[in-house]
Amino acid sequence: MDKELLRKHIQKYRQKFKKDPEKYKKDFLERKERIDYYQSWTKEKISQMKEDDLFEYISKLWSMLIWGNKRYVVDKIIQDNGLDKFKKELSELLWSSEDVEKRWDRFRKEIKGFGYATISEILSHVHPKECMVWNRRALVAYNYLGIEDLPVYDYQCTGKRYKELCKISKEIAEELRKATIDDVNLLTVDYFIWDELQVEDNLSKIKLEKEKKKITAKEIKEDKQHFIHNEIRDKISDIGGWLGFSTKIETKVADGSVVDVIWEATIGNMGRVIYVFEVQTKGSIDSLIVNLLKSLNNPAVQGVVAVSDKVQIEKIEKHVHQIKELKEKIRYWDYKEVLENHDNLSIVNESINKLGLVPKGF
């Protein structure tokens, strides 16, 4: 990390607050309010959490700014995981005595539909001295400070890597303390990152780096398939939701066919249409083809999409070429386009939702 560059921005940060102490006071009170709220959710209180409580709990998170309809998000959390299971795993994530590395990996494995930004934000609110907020803005800041080997894709942000990122955040917090900034914790670092380290052109730079990033054979062999598959699956679901579809993951659409994602829409009084997505990161191509063929037995299914990398897609196309009933229905989507489209749509949704065009009660 470029400590001199960091210290230069810390000094600018101090000057800003000297000119506008009310802003610093407001930020401090906001942080304290958020910490007090999320720390109030003890293990016992989480066990008694109702659906409305979960809605309030989730709605307050910054990571939810990309969603206009937060009730939809909460309903999907319950639908995909079950409220009891979610409460159990949330309690383990926040209050277990195990190391954060293990708690992080367990939660990500057991709970569907949660990205690293949301998980890290909750952790930081509950344990602000130990846990940081890791999101797109933190990625921009760390990259600007010259920190290498940053996790770009969700699957790369393992518990081990998150713990390492928190250690770096603690170094930044220490530099803030040396500059006589009061009441510093890792949530303070997050405010500093937003105020001072969102430098011009860094978002586009990070995007270019993402486009160049490859999923190597070594990474795939190291048991990353589960996270790669689930990341792509969840992002396809998000994209469908942002486009106005009702979405579900790991859903039975026909006898013998449970698919990764469906997008569903009701057309007036004519009925519904369904689009099916299967993510292929490992396993048999024949099994994927059989599953898609079975899904077409459901008359509401209007199209099926195989999602994979370029090499796998070429193999799937060769297998499908002689299967007329599937050849006419199947489409192909490169996982890189899924990731890029998700990033772009999330930025657009966050920007639009900040306008407050739709009342929060809707």
CATH at 262 = 3.40.1350
**278 vs 63: CA distance, rounded Å:** 27
pLDDT confidence band for 203 (50 / 70 / 90): low
Same domain, 192 and 255: no
Same domain, 308 and 204: no
**16 vs 10: CA distance, rounded Å:** 10
Q: At what angle do helices 51-59 and 83-95 cross, to 10 degrees?
A: 50
Q: Which two tokens stand for residue 303?
A: 């199209």
Task: Indicate whether 269 pLDDT > 60.
Answer: yes
Distances (CA, A) of 260 to 56, 234, 294, 300: 29, 9, 14, 17
Same domain, 233 and 323: yes
Q: How many domains does the chain have?
A: 2
Same domain, 114 and 251: no
CA nearest to 202, candidates 143, 259, 154: 143
What's the DSSP call for residue 223?
I
pLDDT confidence band for 356 (50 / 70 / 90): low
For residue 155, is it within any domain? yes
For residue 77, is it within any domain? yes
What is the identity of the amino acid at 281?
Answer: T
3-state secondary structure 269-329: CCEEEEEEEEECCCCCHHHHHHHHHHHCCCCCEEEEEEEECHHHHHHHHHHHCCCHHHHCC
Domain encompassing residue 249:
218-347
Same domain, 68 and 197: yes
The whole-number average pLDDT for the span 205-233 is: 56
Q: Which single residue is written with the structure tokens 């790991």?
A: 250
Task: Indicate whether 285 pLDDT > 90.
Answer: no
pTM (2 decimals)? 0.72
Task: Indicate whether 205 pLDDT > 50.
Answer: yes
For residue 359, is it within any domain? no
**36 vs 49: CA distance, rounded Å:** 17
Same domain, 26 and 72: yes
pLDDT confidence band for 354 (50 / 70 / 90): low
Among 60-64, 193-197, 202-206, the minimum mean pLDDT is found in: 202-206
Evaluate whether 295 touches 301 at the Cβ level (below 8 Å): yes
For residue 179, is it within any domain? yes
The mean predicted confidence, pLDDT, of the chain is 85
**277 vs 5: CA distance, rounded Å:** 45
Q: Which tens digits make up the pLDDT trace of 42-75? A: 999 999 999 999 999 999 998 887 777 788 888 8
